[in-house]
Structure formats: C-alpha cells, structure tokens
Structure 1
Amino acid sequence: MNTPSPRIAVIGGGLAGLSTAALLAKNGLTVDLYEKNSDLGGRCGVWETDGYLFDTGPSWYLMPEVFDKFFHDVGTSTAEQLNLTTLTPGYRVFTENHPVPVDVTSGQAEELFDSLEARGGDKLRAYLDSASSTYKLALDHFLYTDFRTVKPFFDREITSRVGELPTLLGTSLNTFINKRFSHPVLRQILGYHAVFLGTSPDRAPAMYHLMSHLDLVDGVQYPQGGFMSIIRAIEKIALDLGVTIHRGANVTRILTTDNPTPTSRAGLTASAQRIVHQVAGSRLSSHTGYRTRTVVGLQTENGEGQRTTYDADIIVGATDLHHLETQLLSPEEQSYPQEYWDKKDPGPGSVLVHLGVRGEVPELTHHNLFFVKDWDENFDAIYGKNKHLPNPASLYVCKPSHSDPDVAPDGHENVFILVPVPADPGLGHGGRDGDGDALVEQAADAAIAQVAAWAKIPDLAQRIVLRRTVGPADFVTDVNAWSGGALGPAHTLAQSAMFRTTNRSRLVDGLWYAGGSTIPGIGLPMCIISADIATRGILAEI
C-alpha cells in the first residue's frame, strides 16, 4: 500500500516561497502557495506606471552560481530563463572624500587602487585572494547547510584555516580593511557590502570581506526586464510543475494539533554545540526536548474578510519569521517569541524614492554609491542608541534605464534612490508626488538634493515628472517586515551562520522556514539557498 504524498503549504510568494514551492514540486510533491498580496515577489516587487517599470527591492545580481544551481535543479538553466547583461562599469562611487567620481569594474579595479594608494593594486590582489578563498569555503561548506551536524567543521579545507578564524570572526570588517588600506575611498569601496548584509562595517565580522569577491572578481550583472523577471520566471516554472498559487490569501493562523508521537526537536547535536562554542565562543540555548504539536493546516483571509481553512501536513513559512512566529502561532508554539526579537538587530529600514526624470542623466551609471565622509556618524544615526534620519546620508542610486530601454519611456530615465534609515515604522509611509508622511518626504527631498549636488545635475529636481516614495511603515504593510526593516535581520556575528534562526520550528512538527529571516541570511541568493535547505530537510523526513 502506497503512503499518500504529504500536502505541503508554502506561506509567502516572494523569491524564497516560490523557489521552495518549485523545488518541492519538482520532487513530485503536491504544493499550494499562499500569498497575501495580489502580486508575487514580496520584497522583490515591481511598480509599473506611465511607461516606467521600477524594481521595489533587490537590484544587484550577484552570486550567479546560486541561480545556476537552482535553475538546474528545477530542470532548466539560467540562460533559458534570464537575459543577463554584464555591467561596465559595475558601479560608480561619489564621495565627500574625493572630488571626482570613480568607476569600479571587475578585472580593472587594480588600476583604480594603484591610482589612489601606493601599491594599492598589490594590496587588492592579496585582499581578493583571501576574499575569494573565503567565499569558496562558505559556498562549499556552510551556505547550503542547516548546521544540524558537525561535518562541515571537520573538512580538511576548514581545519587547515582554523588559525584564521579568530580574525575572521572576532575582528570587524572595518578593522580588517583599515589594516590593509589607508585611502578613505578604497576603504569605503571594500566596506559598503556591509549594508547589503543589513549592518555596518564596524558591526559585520571580517569574514564578510568575502563579499568583495562578488563584485570585484565575478562582476555585476543585470536581468533585462528588471528583477521581477526572476520572479516571473520562477512563478512559471512552479506553475508548470503543478504548484497551485493562491493570491490575495492572507494567512492568519497556522493550525496545529497535539502530536501523538512527540519527535525530538534537537536543533544541533551536543557535539555540534561544542564545536560552535570553541569556534565562536557563543552561548547557545539548549535544543533538547520534543515537538509536542504538529501542523494540520492553515487559515486564510481575503480582502473581504472571508476566512478559509486549508489542510496541510507540512508548512513552509517563507514570510517574515517574526510575523509568523508572533502572529500565526500561539505562545506555547513559538520557537522565537517576542522576547527573542527584543534582543536582536532588525537591520536598517529604508526610504525608497522612485523617480521618472525627463531627459538623459549621463552623470549616473546603472549602479551608483554616494558615500558620506563620516561613516561612523552616518551608521550611528541608523543603528545607534539615538536613532535619527542621517543627513547627509550614504545613498544607493540605481538608473536601470542605463542598461534596459524597456524600464522608462523614450526620452526619460528611471532613477531609484535608496536611503538607509533606522528600522522604525514610526517614520511613516510614503506616497505619490510628495504626499507621504513628513519624515519620509523629508528624507526623499534631502536625497534628491544630495544626488543633484554631488553628481552635478543642478536641474534634477525640475526634471522630475514622476515621484513615489516608500517608507518603513510600508514594509510592515506590504511584507509584514519586522520593525519595518528593509532587508531582514542584520548579519552581525550573533545573527550569522549557525547563530541565525534555524530553518525549522523547535516546537511544532511539520513547520519549516525559508527566506531572509533564517539561515543562511538576507539577499536573493540567500533566499534561494534557504529554499534548497528547507526542501532537502523535508525530503529527508518524508
């Protein structure tokens, strides 16, 4: 007699949820995906109006091997699904420390470093050798693991570098860079990746210097049609594999019952915990005990308030984990209750500014970074005790119309500004044409003026024909973001690798997690890897 296939429900239609659904369906399982919004994508969304197409979230295509593996695993290839363009330059840097913007391109950065610092190119080669080997180490041994065994720690490649671990884990990225380079612009080029990690260079461990491999060795690419093209490609794959997608289905409750045969909820073996203690010197809570509840389904609510109940044997929560744990489970079912989150770092919030600009803006390339002189003050405004809007702020400015003619009307440019701000929904919502909340619009006005001044586009404000802002409160409304954070939990040492939330519930059988809140972390590649980890864990137990 054949055992019936388990019914699997995935909560959240962002990249992690769609990827998990597609991987599980590819392995012959019946999968339903539930998304509260009418559009898929989550943080990787799109806003289209008047001939403009704006990405509303991620805009850097990095770690191509992760996408390659995923598409291979679902029976296709990146080349079949995406039309990628390599960006030259990779990005342009404007800074108070240097009067002339500098272009950064993979394979050509040594010349730039030599021009700004004695033996800068030699120093960069040594730095990138370390970054590349550390990245390979992470990719081969840690990024695709759930840390429930000690095997990754005993590989010869790991043990041969054990002497480096105190520096990589116990030193900040900022200190690591500053010991090797003296020019402030070069330090910022190597340190800005910390923002991608939801933190700052002085809060990120030095192991994250591996990020420099991504842009300075691999290079930066862009999928034509914007990042929604990735979501649409995976949505089609999932549908073709038989996934049922429920849009406008806001999950309001995960339904559970007593577990007749409680299962072990050991998250890490005792030996694994000892290894973690030795490597990082951190205290872990005990994972001993049993899961006394098991999932049986979920409850959704549509826009009219109509509630529907669906059965499920396994649930993958690919939505914001703080929301799932504190809002969809009862207190006795929460592996990560509110008191857990009260001690954690949500990363930065963001004010997003989408601009339609009349005429060309040749002063900007596709990716542009604006760095203030005093990084410490800038980051302290975002992460410190007395949080406030930084002014001036270090900004990220994207002009995808530089590479993609389809994202703006003829004769116009698509310009997107990201202003890192504190993760605080109290800063408010955005809006159209300046009608958002006061602090959000204040940050947007300051950012537009800063870009105009630093990039020498004096008439920028007068040429804006379309303006839309998004504030931290919108992230709560749109994607249930914890504290209005734009990215997810910051990659500090205490929230990285084995110290990040696990990818399954410790208290409820059949409840798994994927997405930026859990291992391995934030960013599109990490979300795809989290889907891979959850899928392999589920397949191993059914």
Structure 2
Amino acid sequence: MKKNIHIIGSGFSSLAAACYLAKAGHNVTVFEKNETIGGRARQLKKDGFTFDIGPTWYWMPDVFERFFADFNKTPEEYYTLLKLAPGYKIFFDQNDALEISDNLNEIITTFEQIEKGAGKKLEKFMATAKSNYDIAIKDLVYRPGESITELITLETAKRVNQFFSTISKDVRKKFKNKKLVQALEFPVLFLGAKPSNTPSFYSFMNYADFGLGTWHPKNGMYSVIEGIGKLALELGVKIETNQNVEKILSEDGFAIGLQVNGERRFADIIVSGADYHFTETLLPENQRQYSEAYWDKKTFAPSSLLFYVGFDKKMKNVAHHTLFFDTDFELHAKEIYDTPKWPNEPLFYASFPSITDEHVAPEGKEAAIFLIPLATDLEDTPELRELYFEKIISRFEHITNQNVRNNIIFKESFCVNDFKEQYNSYKGNAYGLANTLLQTAFLRPKLKSSKVQNLYFTGQLTVPGPGVPPSLISGKLVANLIKKYE
C-alpha cells in the first residue's frame, strides 16, 4: 500500500533509500537542513576551484553498478568515471615513495622488488581477499543486521578464525618490510578502526584497493550525489533543502511526522539518514533506544581536520591521491583511539583532483585537499587549525622537494566543530561507527526502532558501516525492511 514517507537528510544512504522507496510506489519527501543535497558529501566552490568537502575516494565500483542496475540504469548515464593510474602514492620519507599501480600484476611485481618472496605471498593474500570480497560485498553486507544468524553461513563457518584474528596480525605474519605492511594496512582505515582491532575477514578491503582499483568521477564525488539525486527526482521523490528537522512527532508509540522549520509535516513512515544519536534526541527520552552511556562507550571512526587549498601553480612529485606516512603510524593511531588528543606528528593525506580533472581548478592552478585524521570531540580552535596546517605544509614541502607556501591563493578549513554544527555529528566524528568485531552487523545500532513504530534509520552508524558504498547499501537495506514490516 502506498505510504507517505519522510526522510531526514540527503546523504548517500538517504538518497538511496528514497530511490528504492519511490520505486516501490511510495510518496517520498527528503528534508535536508543545508542549502544543497549530499549531507557530508557536499561541494565547495571558490574562485574557479571546486572541492569535494567530504568523500574523495571512489572504491568498489561494482556496488555503484549494482545500485543503478536496481533501477535498470548504469552509472555512466549519470556521471563519467576515470580510473586512476597510479591509484595513489605513499610517501615514507623524502625521495622514498611507493606508487600503487592500477594493475594487480604490477603491484605484485613491485612487492617482489621490495621484499624477496613478497610477490607470491601477495598473490595468495589477494586470492583470500577476493574470496572474502565475494562473500562480504556480494552477500553479507546486503543483510539487515537483525540477527547473528545472518553471519552464519557455510562460507563464514570456513573462515571463522578470520573473525578472531586481525588484519595487522595477518599482514605482519606474511610481510616484514614496513612499507608493504603499511600499504596493506591502509585500506581498513576506511572502516574507521585500527588494523590491530579490525578482523582479518576485512581483508576484502585490500581487494577493493588492489583488485578493483581507485576511480575518480569527473567533476568530483559530488557528481555521484547529483546523479543519484537526479535518479531520485526521476522516480518522483520530492527533495526540499534548507529544511531543519526539529522534532520527530509521535503518538501512542507511532511516528506520525516531523516538525520542520516550525511546521508539522505528517507522514506514515519516518526514515532518518542523519546522525543516529542526533536523530534519537529528536524524540522524548523514553522513546530512545540507546542511552548516552551506550554511545559514549562505542568506538567511533575518527574525526578530521581538512583544508581546501587553491594553489596558483601545479604541484610536483604527487599523485591524485597521496598519503604521507613519514611519521609513526602506531603513535598517531594511539592518539586517535587510546589516549585521545591532538597528535604530535600526524600522518596525513592529500588529494589533488586537478591532476586528473581539468574542471576542478583554473588552468595552470591546483586544487588540493589535505586531511589529518583526529580523535573525536577534541578542542577545535582557529589557532590549532593553523598550527597543524603549518606542520603538514612544512612536511609536504620537505618530502616532495618543492616550495608551495607562497603559492597559496586561499585555504578553507573544516574540523570537529563543523562536523557537529553542519551534520549534527556525534562528537564530531567524520566517518560514523568503526567496524570492529563487537560493532559488526547485528551488533550495530538497528535499522528499525524498537521503541517507536514506523521509525527507521540508515547510514554509517547502522549497518553495514562507514564509507560511501556501505551507505548506498544501507539505503537499500532500510527500504527492504520497510517493505517487510509495513
């Protein structure tokens, strides 16, 4: 039966849910508090430069293909993809860098050149990673996290030991060279937890990296949001921006609508793709499933300090995606997860989309995004932001052998306070709830409220977890659950 469904937020998971629910015949309205759609995947335009404010990595192209195929469409009908070669570059020190090819055979050759025997070991490791990918991404992540039985299959039973070992242990058993270890531990950082806390089964992220490659949507990741937004409109979804949701209206244990900009907007079903913790604060306390103590004990993915910088010249010695692992990875991880504080010497990441995409910077100029992973809920001041920009730009100049400080046209920053203010993000987290063993699948916050009927959740704090592809999947999962229960 056709229902009126209101969705809070317009990030990847919300837009995906909207598409599936509209396809099922429902009247769907999306309410976005900001001026433009996209949630954390918004865009900054300034002086002829264009930056993705949020996600910049396009991995797991098959998940996007599967999403569009559900509507008899292809990604190519909505945006253009370019495969990056190299996928990315990792600096360990000045004149000491590792380029990750767009071809697995070339990566295997590179590993063998760095450490004798590592090529064959990588080949074997990647066979397991691909097998895990086929099980996880083609099957398990499309289950709604309602019960432990979803994880119990013949294939997972064969791999039960992989849920009780860690990526870090597995990688370090096989590879001794520090550069190779860090290259293999890097992809699970997208899951929001330390490699030493991430189950071995998640090696499927290595297949996403080395096996499927790194891609760039022309005009940036925001073109993917625009594409899914266009699909939603084609399916009949109504999208309203500048709409601040102030309260979830309920009556006799049922969600009956939203209070938006002071106006009561009634609906049969409510779906929230906004921050899960924030969404529950829109309800009376006795209708919230999870207490403040519950959230406080959870392991959250990091926050970030981001800089969006326009340079008046092209950069040298860098790739589209460039990682700076020239400091102590384990110490920085401790400063995020174990003893939360501003890091002493942080690792950082830099993206230069204008290397690949002429549309994102004026000719002869460079658009750059710098990101430092941080603990959540840190003090965030303009002085601290400036101090850390100085730290990383000095290291950037030294490691890449170039002077760039005087070529900065402008820089904008985004940090903990902005995540809280603009996205109502719990403790200012950037990526949601980390995928540790005790925060996987049915152990994550539920898609369906147990306290309020016809209230549902989607996004990176519920199943399957952090990242853009999981967010798309989360939208499908919540739509399927609504079909099941409503």
TM-score normalized by the length of structure 1 = 0.87
- Choose the corresponding residue for 2:97, options 101, 106, 111: 101
User: 1:473 — aligned with what?
Assistant: 417
SS at match of 1:143: helix
Q: 1:425 touches 1:476 (CA, 8 Å); kept in 2?
A: no
1:373 deviates by 4.2
After superposition, the C-alpha distances for 1:295-318 in whole angstroms (9 at most, x for unaligned) are 1111012xxxxx111011111110
Structure number, greater radius of gyration: 1
The answer to whether the aligner puts 1:418 opposite 2:371 as a matched pair is yes
Q: 1:389 touches 1:443 (CA, 8 Å); kept in 2?
A: no
Worse-superposed segment, 55-64 or 446-455: 446-455
Q: Match of 1:388, as an amino acid?
A: K
SS at match of 1:103: strand
SS at match of 1:222: strand
The answer to whether the aligner puts 1:73 opposite 2:27 as a matched pair is no
Q: 2:84 touches 2:216 (CA, 8 Å); kept in 1?
A: yes
User: 2:295 — aligned with what?
Assistant: 341
1:190 deviates by 0.4
Q: Aligned pair in 2 of structure 1 residues 179, 366: CA closer, same or farther (>3 Å)?
A: same
User: 1:375 — aligned with what?
Assistant: 329
Q: 2:145 touches 2:463 (CA, 8 Å); kept in 1?
A: no
Structure 2 stretches of 5 or more lacking a match?
A: none
1:52 deviates by 0.2
The answer to whether the aligner puts 1:322 opposite 2:282 as a matched pair is no
1:100 deviates by 1.8
Q: 2:327 touches 2:346 (CA, 8 Å); kept in 1?
A: no
SS at match of 2:363: coil
Identity value in percent:
32
Q: Match of 2:108, as an amino acid?
A: E
After superposition, the C-alpha distances for 1:235-287 in whole angstroms (9 at most, x for unaligned) are 111112111112111111111111xxxxxxxxxxxxxxxxxxxxxxxxxxxxx
Q: Match of 1:58, as an amino acid?
A: P
User: 2:44 — aligned with what?
Assistant: 47
Task: Tell me how far apart the structure 1 counterparts of residues 369 and 362 of structure 2 sit (CA, whole Å).
Answer: 15
Q: 2:352 touches 2:367 (CA, 8 Å); kept in 1?
A: yes
User: 1:123 — aligned with what?
Assistant: 121
Task: Tell me how far apart the structure 2 counterparts of residues 150 and 531 of structure 1 sit (CA, whole Å).
Answer: 21
1:79 deviates by 1.7
SS at match of 2:464: coil
User: 1:269 — aligned with what?
Assistant: none
Q: Aligned pair in 2 of structure 1 residues 133, 57: CA closer, same or farther (>3 Å)?
A: same
SS at match of 2:370: strand
Task: Tell me how far apart the structure 1 counterparts of residues 306 and 151 of structure 2 sit (CA, whole Å).
Answer: 40
Task: Tell me how far apart the structure 2 counterparts of residues 373 and 40 of structure 1 sit (CA, whole Å).
Answer: 37
Worse-superposed segment, 336-345 or 42-51: 336-345
The answer to whether the aligner puts 1:399 opposite 2:399 as a matched pair is no
1:424 deviates by 1.7
Task: Tell me how far apart the structure 2 counterparts of residues 453 and 202 of structure 1 sit (CA, whole Å).
Answer: 30
SS at match of 2:310: strand
1:417 deviates by 0.6
SS at match of 2:432: coil
The answer to whether the aligner puts 1:243 opposite 2:237 as a matched pair is yes
1:488 deviates by 0.8
SS at match of 2:430: coil
Q: 1:391 touches 1:446 (CA, 8 Å); kept in 2?
A: no
Task: Tell me how far apart the structure 2 counterparts of residues 453 and 30 of structure 1 sit (CA, whole Å).
Answer: 56
Q: Aligned pair in 2 of structure 1 residues 150, 475: CA closer, same or farther (>3 Å)?
A: closer
CA RMSD of aligned residues (A): 1.4
Q: 1:365 touches 1:402 (CA, 8 Å); kept in 2?
A: yes
User: 2:397 — aligned with what?
Assistant: 452
User: 1:139 — aligned with what?
Assistant: 137
Q: 1:372 touches 1:392 (CA, 8 Å); kept in 2?
A: no
Q: 2:146 touches 2:446 (CA, 8 Å); kept in 1?
A: no
1:155 deviates by 3.6
Q: Match of 2:141, as an amino acid?
A: L
User: 2:479 — aligned with what?
Assistant: 535
Task: Tell me how far apart the structure 2 counterparts of residues 153 and 399 of structure 1 sit (CA, whole Å).
Answer: 39
Q: Aligned pair in 2 of structure 1 residues 347, 147: CA closer, same or farther (>3 Å)?
A: closer
TM-score normalized by the length of structure 2 = 0.97
User: 1:310 — aligned with what?
Assistant: 265
1:55 deviates by 0.5
Task: Tell me how far apart the structure 1 counterparts of residues 147 and 427 of structure 2 sit (CA, whole Å).
Answer: 32
User: 2:79 — aligned with what?
Assistant: 82
1:152 deviates by 4.0
Q: Match of 1:183, as an amino acid?
A: N
Task: Tell me how far apart the structure 2 counterparts of residues 218 and 180 of structure 1 sit (CA, whole Å).
Answer: 22
SS at match of 1:140: coil
1:151 deviates by 5.8
Q: 2:147 touches 2:442 (CA, 8 Å); kept in 1?
A: no
SS at match of 1:60: coil
1:169 deviates by 1.7
After superposition, the C-alpha distances for 1:423-457 in whole angstroms (9 at most, x for unaligned) are 125224xxxxxxxx111221122111111111212
User: 1:290 — aligned with what?
Assistant: none
1:531 deviates by 0.4
User: 2:406 — aligned with what?
Assistant: 462
1:74 deviates by 2.5
Q: Match of 2:258, as an amino acid?
A: L
The number of residues matched between the two structures is 484
Does 1 or 2 have the higher relative contact order (CA < 8 Å, sep 6+)? 2
Structure 1 stretches of 5 or more lacking a match?
A: 259-292, 302-306, 429-436
Task: Tell me how far apart the structure 1 counterparts of residues 148 and 201 of structure 2 sit (CA, whole Å).
Answer: 20
User: 2:450 — aligned with what?
Assistant: 506
After superposition, the C-alpha distances for 1:86-118 in whole angstroms (9 at most, x for unaligned) are 00000001014x842121013210111011111
After superposition, the C-alpha distances for 1:92-150 in whole angstroms (9 at most, x for unaligned) are 01014x84212101321011101111111101001101111111111233100013356
1:502 deviates by 1.3
1:471 deviates by 1.2
